[in-house]
Amino acid sequence: MSQSISAKKLRAAYQRMLLIREFELRVERLFLAGKITGTAHLCIGQEATAVGAVMALRKSDALTSTHRGHGHFLARGGNPDRIMAELYGKRSGYSGGRGGSQFMADYRIGYLGANGITGGSLSVATGVALAARLQNRSRVTLCFFGDGASNQGVFHECLNMAALWKLPVVFLCENNGYAMSMPVARSIAGGSIARRAQAYGIAGEETDGNDLEAVWRAVTNARRRAAKGDGPTLIECHTYRYCGHSRGDPCVYRAPQEKVAWRKRDPIQRMRRILLTRGVLISGEHQRLMQETRRRVQQAVAHAEADAWPKASSLTKGVFA
Amino acid sequence: MSQSISAKKLRAAYQRMLLIREFELRVERLFLAGKITGTAHLCIGQEATAVGAVMALRKSDALTSTHRGHGHFLARGGNPDRIMAELYGKRSGYSGGRGGSQFMADYRIGYLGANGITGGSLSVATGVALAARLQNRSRVTLCFFGDGASNQGVFHECLNMAALWKLPVVFLCENNGYAMSMPVARSIAGGSIARRAQAYGIAGEETDGNDLEAVWRAVTNARRRAAKGDGPTLIECHTYRYCGHSRGDPCVYRAPQEKVAWRKRDPIQRMRRILLTRGVLISGEHQRLMQETRRRVQQAVAHAEADAWPKASSLTKGVFA
Amino acid sequence: MKTITAAAILRETLAAELTADPTVMLMGEDIGVYGGAFGITRGLLDRFGPQRVIETPISENGVVGMAIGAAISGCRPIVEIMFADFVTLAMDPLVNQAAKLRYILGRQASCPLVVRLVAGGGRGYGPTHSQGFAAWFVHTPGLKVVAPSSIADHADLLHAAVQDPNPVVFLEHKRLYGWREPVPADRPVVGLETARTVNRGHDLTILAWSWMAVEAAIAAERLAADGITAEVIDVRCLQPLDMATINESVQQTGRVLIVDEAPRSAGIAAEIGCRVFEASHEYLEAPIRRLTAPDIPVPASPPMEQLTLPDATTIAHAAMGLMETLQ
Amino acid sequence: MKTITAAAILRETLAAELTADPTVMLMGEDIGVYGGAFGITRGLLDRFGPQRVIETPISENGVVGMAIGAAISGCRPIVEIMFADFVTLAMDPLVNQAAKLRYILGRQASCPLVVRLVAGGGRGYGPTHSQGFAAWFVHTPGLKVVAPSSIADHADLLHAAVQDPNPVVFLEHKRLYGWREPVPADRPVVGLETARTVNRGHDLTILAWSWMAVEAAIAAERLAADGITAEVIDVRCLQPLDMATINESVQQTGRVLIVDEAPRSAGIAAEIGCRVFEASHEYLEAPIRRLTAPDIPVPASPPMEQLTLPDATTIAHAAMGLMETLQ
Ligand SMILES: Cc1ncc(C[n+]2csc(CCOP(=O)(O)OP(=O)(O)O)c2C)c(N)n1
Ligand SMILES: Cc1ncc(C[n+]2csc(CCOP(=O)(O)OP(=O)(O)O)c2C)c(N)n1
Ligand SMILES: [Mg+2]
Ligand SMILES: [Mg+2]
């Protein structure tokens, strides 16, 4: 099916990608500076998958994320101030500082949260899809997970059940070539994640995860099938993270040339070239957008810095509803 | 590859099938009579798969079983006296009465045990195969599991790892059409278990589980591949259990005609016809074999009846080695 | 007053919840035509259809995780785990997801999930079909844990669990399924944080729950014949614990015996023991006594299993011993 | 005497075990070139090759199950679980298989398996990366449970765990990885059922393990400045427990404070508390005191996490309080 995204939307998508990139780069620096502690997994290089997939959703749809979730959250419209505050462990963070990078959500926008457990969101997403079916809602659920997560048993359990019951869920694997230091070649028998869809009799598709439009198309089609009652789709997006797995990863497990090669396929630069060619962006505008974006990120940092710590008296509150 | 089993072996196989059938029928009656308590899952109707697969193994090989394990154990040469004693909870049982039907083993003959957890033996078997590889042993491990077990996440994890590392393991699914009351059609998306092998780039094969020779051939080939270092095979044997899932199952979930149809494909009768045709068995001999078998089972019952209970003073002994 | 078994009253209660609230749904293995391994859901598929009674493949991890997804979407899933022993496969979603959602995500998230576990020994089912793991859940902040004993409580606490906006682990003892008791039609509402005084006594307090509360009540009758009046409290709500009721009793009797069929170490009896001690030590006339299973897997062999699990006889015996001890 | 971190001594010990015994093997995620998330296995792949250092996909259930298969086949697998929190995915093989094999199958089966869990809070890793679950394993008959504190013990107890023919859950605290202590070259052999007296004192006994034992030792120094001498015992072996050492101390001091960073309810502190009470109640001069985390998930926010976990300050404070209490 040939579809295209409006110029306005493409532009917005581009801006969102910039925001994610700048946000993540800033978080990296904040970690190095000791402003943020704990852990965080950055998605620098994977922005097209996050934005392309999320923009294929409707407002009433839902999505679940992973440990590498800032991009998905920002793509869905998460507030950078509150995300940053959460990373700082501050009071206005999405989880009031309790969750940190791997445990925040905004149910009001259908963002059901990051997940510290590799593969942990697969079943939750499938259950959200089951509920939508029972509730006769038109909601489709998009489930992000990594190549590494696809080796968890629960992947198999959920694909099987989603396929059996034709649930309105889109399983989107961000195959960035590695699970931490484990390359796909040594962890995925048979070599392809998308092809595993066949085992369950559902649609499977590989796509260039650094091509926003390709991702958007794949998810749009999968979303349509899901909404029509045709069941789940497994989409494998090939992409790459430039950064280490998490703070302090020296990336000894991959060759420097590899990163160089992927830089040539950078999703943001590529998008910029396309937008310039199509006249959606005019020359020099990028600078302005970058400045805007950096200001936005700086504002988030300032917000988080100024924010208060959670109240000590709240420590044991709210374990139960 | 065309292979055939010697007449002597076929005859022995036939006797083993009879033993399993008679043993299980007797256990069923003992349950009804209240002589055995707890639970047991009988494999009446599935004898060809058990015997055909196990006879393809070498002495140095290993096998793991399931909750429905008496047949596998007897096929491998387990002592009926001690199996029966275990069902009675008596002292000479394979587990000294501690394990019951679902938890007994005889490591000396490479029978690594039944398993009360559906899918529980998949990882153990894969690990045994891994050890064999590391130890440079020629051992191949045969892993029995059911159609229901194939829906456990660990199935996926183990097939993936066994495939990645080309481990010498044969995954043998006894597809008897149901997991308890759950029909395969409602539990296995995509419809085929064997086909799931493709997801991992390994060999997958379906075979008639009521045809002893077919099972033997499939496992023999898979065993050879495994031993050669060509990795695991997933074999799906189609078979049927005549009895209920466990004691007290009224089988409301399946049509009586279904059982009638499968009775026509009874693995023992079928084998008898073949052996008679080939002259391996002479007319009337079956009666004698049956009598022998019944005597053997009766002896097992007598043994178990006469056996002592475990010593009370042993209760807390042996938790640790 | 009607007399009914736990199995039947659980079935009635599930039916009532399904009827009263369209968001209630059941999930589990063989809960359809088969009615569940113990027949608890028998007939419910016919009555409520496959949209409400969802029979699943054998995928405990995925199923509990899906139930969480459904719960945060506004459903009230009730999952049956055929034997509690299999919840070992679903600890991740229960502990790392369900238990933490509310505390971490705040008011936006509620997870009204009930996980019904078929727990306990005494039926000769062997080491992998006789466990309960209640202590694990008590040790997991964010989960409520309930283990009813009386037949009425099976209905009332299940109802309360379904109504509760939090994940509740609901332990059913397989020995109670066939147990029959009269159940008054009009009963006061029961909360998820309440203990139940089974009978009054002033010589000692016996704390028990689930099947052990039945055994304790029988023991109390025998003790009464020997002139010892035991106050039996069915703890029933294991997290949170109703320490007020427990301490009040202990402070009157001065002696306490805690009975649990689970292995001893780091069990719930230890927690209750410590809390009683912390709150009531100056009232104690004898050391707190725990009667539990030893630290062994539950053996299948009937006489060995019987030796493993406390029962009315060993409870009465321990109580007598306790009456003879001086602090 | 050489000074070394827990991370380094664990690495040395793993290397020594791999060298000494060809049946020893490592399994885990990213334990190869990456050296494990905390660098514990760094360099071992190079030295021992991929047959001995087996890097696995993210499949905790399958991996622990495979390790069991390898263990019953004569290997001595050591599995690294990157964060203890993920062992929730491997409870089934650990509890329903490994823990039960020996008791049920008898002498034919031994399962010399070590599962190393990276446990504990204090690093801001948040609710799903700060747990330990030691109490669950203590509550599982058939598992041994060890949680070292001193750097030397990291080597000695790991060695003992690898030598042990039973499944051992070996809890490493991530805060100890960078902790440095002098370690004497000649040390007595240490068993898996022994507690360690960190320092002598006669006013009260403080029981702790893992990182909490470090905090307790610091607290003891501060208390000493106030004229209170605390006997600090590093419990270190949690199942079986060395109650002899513990009771001997308590019977001399008459006061006991048990410190655990895990959530309070049904934790190990409760078990130890009960056992101390059962054996030593007549020696107690004050009620047994538990200092634990509250029953909440571990929050990520640094100040909140600090409030959650006991530390030298709160331990010293609790100890002072205990000194003021009269039985
Ligand atoms: C159950 C579980 N096991 C292991 C981890 C540790 N861990 C966090 S992310 C990660 C790699 C995940 O790889 P992938 O799914 O490919 O996602 P990516 O990091 O590449 O985005 C691992 C091993 C975890 N968080 N949860
Ligand atoms: C983890 C787990 N879940 C559920 C069960 C209960 N159970 C025992 S056997 C069985 C059905 C297994 O079906 P299948 O694998 O097809 O084997 P079959 O009984 O048909 O031989 C079930 C659900 C179990 N023992 N373990
Ligand atoms: Mg990846
Ligand atoms: Mg089956």
What pLDDT, on the 0 to 100 scale, is given for residue A250? Answer: 87
pLDDT of residue B88: 98
3-state SS string for chain B:
CCCCCCHHHHHHHHHHHHHHHHHHHHHHHHHHCCCCCCCCCCCCCCHHHHHHHHCCCCCCCEEECCCCCHHHHHHCCCCHHHHHHHHHCCCCCCCCCCCCCCCCCEHHHCECCCCCCCCHHHHHHHHHHHHHHHCCCCCCEEEEEECCHHHCHHHHHHHHHHHHCCCCEEEEEEECCEECCEEHHHHCCCCCCHHHHHHHCCEEEEEECCCHHHHHHHHHHHHHHHHHCCCCEEEEEECCCCCCCCCCCCCCCCCHHHHHHHHCCCHHHHHHHHHHHCCCCCCCHHHHHHHHHHHHHHHHHHHHHHCCCCCHHHCCCCCCC
Q: Check if D29 has its Cβ closer than 6 Å to any atom of ligand 1.
A: yes
Q: Is residue D260 part of a domain?
A: yes
Read off the CATH number of the domain in which D223 is found. Answer: 3.40.50.920
pLDDT value at position A247? 82
Of D183, D213, D242, which residue constitutes the final position of a domain? D183
Mean pLDDT of chain A: 97
Instruction: Say if C241 falls within a structural domain.
Output: yes
User: In ligand 2, which atom is closest to the CA atom of B43?
Assistant: 21
Same domain, C249 and C287: yes
Report yes or no on D59 lying in a domain: yes
Q: Do C32 and C141 reside in the same domain of the chain?
A: yes
Mean pLDDT of D151-178: 98
Tell me which of C135, C156, C183 is where a domain ends: C183
Name which of B145, B158, B160 to mutate to probe chain A: the one with the most chain A Cβ atoms within 10 A of its Cβ: B160
How many C-beta neighbours within 10 Å does residue D194 have? 20
Give me chain B's average pLDDT, please. Answer: 97
Domain assignment of residue C282, yes or no: yes
pLDDT at D322: 96
Q: What is the mean pLDDT of residues C124-145?
A: 98
Calculate what percentage of chain D has a pLDDT beyond 70.
99
pLDDT in tens, C254-312: 999 999 999 999 999 999 999 999 999 999 999 999 999 999 999 999 999 999 999 99
Q: Are residues D285 and D313 located together in one domain of the fold?
A: yes
What's the pLDDT at D325? 74
Does ligand 1 come within 6 angstroms of the Cβ of A155? no
pLDDT digit string, tens, across residues C98-130: 999 999 999 999 999 999 999 999 999 999 999
Q: How far is the CA of A168 from the centre of ligand 3 (A)?
A: 24
Average pLDDT over residues A87-105: 98
What pLDDT sits at residue B250? 87
Amino acid at the residue B277: T
Identify whether residues C255 and C143 lie together within a single domain: no
Residues C204 and C178 in one domain: no
The answer to whether position C190 is within a domain reads no
Residues D274, D228, single domain; the answer is: yes
Q: Tell me, what's the pLDDT at B2?
A: 54
Euclidean distance between CA atoms C33 and C50, whole angstroms: 11
Set of chain A residues whose Cβ sits within 8 Å of the Cβ of B190? 163, 198-202
User: Could you tell me the CATH number of the domain that includes residue C56?
Assistant: 3.40.50.970
Are C197 and C249 in contact by the 8 Å Cβ rule? The answer is yes
Residues D108 and D217 in one domain: no
Query: Residue A231's pLDDT is what?
Result: 98
Token readout for C32 is 């359809």
Binding site membership of B68 for ligand 2 (Cβ less than 6 Å) = yes
Local confidence band at B150 (pLDDT 50, 70, 90 cut-offs) = very high
What per-residue confidence (pLDDT) applies to A2?
54
Q: From the CB of residue C250, how many other CB atoms can be counted at a distance below 10 Å?
A: 25
Whether residue D9 is found in the same domain as residue D158 = yes
Instruction: Please count the structural domains in chain D.
Output: 2
* For range A13-38, the mean pLDDT: 97
Domain stop point among C154, C183, C212: C183
Could you tell me which of B66, B86, B320 has the C-alpha nearest to residue C301?
B86
Read off the pLDDT band of D327 (50, 70, 90).
very low
What mean pLDDT do residues B275-284 have?
Answer: 94
Tracing tokens 């290397």 back to the chain, one arrives at D15
Q: What is the pLDDT of residue C327?
A: 46
Q: Answer yes or no: is C92 within a domain.
A: yes
For the stretch D41-82, pLDDT in tens is: 999 999 999 999 999 999 999 999 999 999 999 999 999 999
Give the per-residue pLDDT at A292: 97
Judge: D138–C89 Cβ closer than 8 Å, yes or no.
no
Starting at the edge strand found earlier in the chain, the sheet holding D289-293 runs D196-199, D230-234, D204-208, D256-263, D289-293
Residues C100 and C216 in one domain: no
Q: Chain A contacts of B171, Cβ < 8 Å? A: none
Q: Is position D189 within any domain?
A: no
- Domain range holding C217? 196-323
In a domain, D188, yes or no: no
**Residues 59-78 of chain D whose Cβ lies under 8 A from any Cβ of chain A:** 59-62
Which pLDDT value is given to residue B248?
Answer: 82
Would you call C263 helix, strand, or coil by DSSP?
A: strand
Does C164 share its domain with C282? Answer: no
pLDDT tens digits along A189-248: 999 999 999 999 999 999 999 999 999 999 999 999 999 999 999 999 999 999 999 988
D228 and D288 belong to one structural domain: yes
Share of chain A above pLDDT 70, in %: 99
pLDDT score, position C326: 58
Determine the pLDDT at residue A3.
74
Instruction: Indicate yes or no: CB of D269 within 8 angstroms of CB of C268.
Output: no
ipTM computed for the complex: 0.98
Q: Report residue A283's pLDDT band, with 50, 70 and 90 as the boundaries.
A: confident
Residue A1 has pLDDT above 60, yes or no: no
Distances, alpha carbon C113 to alpha carbons A162, A185, B295, C166, D85, in Å? 20, 39, 54, 6, 21
Same-domain status, C177 and C74: yes
pLDDT greater than 50 at residue B284:
yes
d(CA A68, CA A40): 7
Q: What is the model's pTM?
A: 0.98
